[in-house]
Amino acid sequence: MPITYFFSGLELDAIVGERDRIAREFEDFDIVGAIAGGDKFIDPRHGYNDAHKSEMGGMTYNHIPFAHPFGKEMQGEYLEGFVCDQVIWTRNIASEYFRKTIVSVHPPDGIYAPSSADCLRDCGMDSVVVSSETFGSSYDKGRMYWGSGLRHVVRTNDLQLNSDEFQNAGRFIEAVESYANDNGIEYVTVGCDIDEFNGQRNMSAHDGIARLCGVGQAALGRVNMININASAYRDQEAGQINDVWGWDDVHAMMDRDGGMGFMDLQRNSELRDVILKVGERYNEGLDVSEAKDKLRWSLDAACRNRWCSGAPKGHYDHFLGETKDRLGY
């Protein structure tokens, strides 16, 4: 079953750093070596592409959103100063250690605006999987949309693989078929967080793996399962993303309506001001590399979440303070 796995650079760093320990826990299975040296994952930039193989996709290095909420007037500073660095950082780790060039990305927590497309395209991306919580019609979901030369593959939120109703994998395949037929969609993109299947949330790791394997078995000979890269190139009814999504409108997948109700407005406002200060110092000719290195930890999507208190809030405050010190506040 071809799956596109979206990793942040931080996660890839951890996998590489814990390579030996992970191998011991999985009976000498070397996940880094398997991806780097095997033929199970595609690598389109180096001539190896197969719709039915898995794909390594990426996020920003430290889970910072692809667009800054409530900050249209400073989106350029955010994209050029932080997002681009983070995406390239992740790509470099994937290339160096896993021997795969990432061409597909997904925004952390689904926080995205089409105005990010230029930046992602300049970072070498071909396609981005975006969420559809703001889309009113099921007909608009599941399709591919263009934006600044970047392919936007829209994930449907009407089907959730981890739902109890899909304990029988065959029912999931039936639901996908019905959804596609009812809405005239050739390819349906369904996404899920890994913690839904690894024992951290709704089901045990054993049950999660069993469900994924069951879906693969149920799909054989019935539906054509492909990776994101292939899906982005095969949709023949592609439109423009700004036809269904305002160019500068930042939305997320955290809330059912795609809104930003989960966002801590005070933290986000503080980040906006510090980002602008970084740009100001840079334009003054000062070296802001250390400040940016500290700030990226506070820019994490979870640190912006008003539900995240305790350690994440302390993490946010600590690194924001260090950033300000380096900027001469």
The tokens describing 235, both together, are 């949709």
Distance CA 15, CA 73 (A): 37
303 touches 315 (CB < 8 A): yes
301, part of any domain = yes
Contact (CB, 8 A) for 251 and 258? yes
Q: 213-228: per-residue pLDDT in tens?
A: 899 899 998 988 999 9
Same structural domain for residues 128 and 188?
A: yes
The Cα diameter of the chain in Å comes to: 63
Angle at 154 between CA 4 and CA 83, to 5 degrees: 70
The model carries a pTM of 0.92
Is residue 149 in some structural domain?
Answer: yes
Please tell me the distance from the alpha carbon of residue 23 to that of residue 214, in angstroms, as a whole number.
25
Q: Which contacts qualify for 194-203: CB closer than 8 Å, 24 or more apart?
A: 196/161, 196/162, 197/162, 202/162, 203/162
H or E, element range at 128: strand 127-130
Kindly tell me if the per-residue pLDDT of 186 is higher than 90.
no
pLDDT, average across residues 147-167: 90
Examine the domain organization and report whether 233 and 283 are in the same domain: no
Chain position carrying tokens 């030996």: 20
Is 323 contained in some domain? yes
* Residue 79, CA distances (Å) to 71, 148, 266 in order: 11, 15, 21
Evaluate whether residue 37 is within a structural domain: yes
- The residue segments making up the domain with residue 300 are 265-327
Q: Of 240, 275, 298, which residue constitutes the final position of a domain?
A: 240
**Residue 275 sits in the same domain as residue 315:** yes
Asked whether residue 192 falls in the same domain as residue 47, the answer is yes
Angle (nearest 5°) at CA 74 between 292 and 254: 85
Residue 187 has pLDDT above 70, yes or no: yes
Is 167 part of any domain? yes
CATH number at residue 149: 3.20.110.10
Whether the CB-CB separation of 304 and 271 falls below 8 Å is answered with: yes
Per-residue pLDDT tens digits for 99-146: 999 999 999 999 999 999 999 999 999 999 999 998 888 888 888 999
Of 127, 105, 230, 222, nearest to 171 by C-alpha is 222
Q: What is the pLDDT of residue 196?
A: 74
Cα 216 versus chain centre, distance: 23
Give the single-character DSSP code of 313: H
pLDDT for 48-83, tens place per residue? 999 999 999 999 999 999 999 887 788 888 999 999
C-alpha triplet 261, 266, 271: angle, nearest 5°? 105
If you average pLDDT over residues 263-271, what whole number do you get? 92
Instruction: Quote the number of domains for the chain.
Output: 2
Q: Whole-angstrom Cα distance, residue 227 to residue 229?
A: 6
The answer to whether residues 229 and 49 touch, using CB atoms and an 8 Å cutoff, is yes
Classify residue 284: in a domain, yes or no.
yes
In a domain, 260, yes or no: no
